[in-house]
Amino acid sequence: MMLKHDERDVMVKLYMEKSMKALRSAKNTLEDDPDNSINRSYYSMFYAAQGALVAKGFSDFRKHQTVISKFGEIFVKTGFLDKELGKNIKRVENLRYRADYNPKINFSSEEAREQVERAEQFVSAVNKLLNQGLK
């Protein structure tokens, strides 16, 4: 589905707001709930990736693998963003999956802090791209 320019701008803004909200939550739960902090770090990256894809004119993807794959294809492989950022969203997604679905795993606050830092770098880079006017 193609969005009109003004609809696209609204969707990008909403995704970036969700991204920032998730990032704040990740920071706020670092000490008390590291697993949730990792979850929120991942979602801050996921929402930012969705926002960037919508800004570039792509559909509003829902599946995580589709978002990550298309984001890598459009922004990382083309050199818009550093390859490490593309790797980091996959790393944090893997940790999020383990934190959410494996009850035997309990991440430390230090491990969660590393993911928050990755998320901050990722979201910051996407914001910078958006501020430069992706088209």
Q: Residue 7: its pLDDT value, please?
A: 84
Provide the residue range defining the domain that includes 44.
5-131
Cα–Cα distance for residue pair 135/123, rounded to 1 Å: 18
* H/E segment holding residue 114: helix 109-131
How far is Cα 63 from Cα 83, in angstroms, rounded to an integer?
21
pLDDT at 14: 96
CATH number of 113's domain? 1.20.120.330
Walk along the chain (135 residues) and give the pLDDT tens digit of each residue: 556 767 888 999 999 999 999 999 999 999 999 999 999 999 999 999 999 999 998 876 778 999 999 999 999 999 989 999 999 999 999 999 999 999 999 999 999 999 999 999 999 999 999 998 765
pLDDT value for 2: 59
Predicted TM-score (pTM) of this structure: 0.93
- pLDDT score at 60: 65
> For the chain, what is the domain count?
1
Two structure tokens written together for 3: 């969005």
pLDDT at 133: 77
- Please name which of 44, 76, 74 lies closest in space to residue 56, comparing C-alpha atoms: 74
pLDDT score, position 3: 62
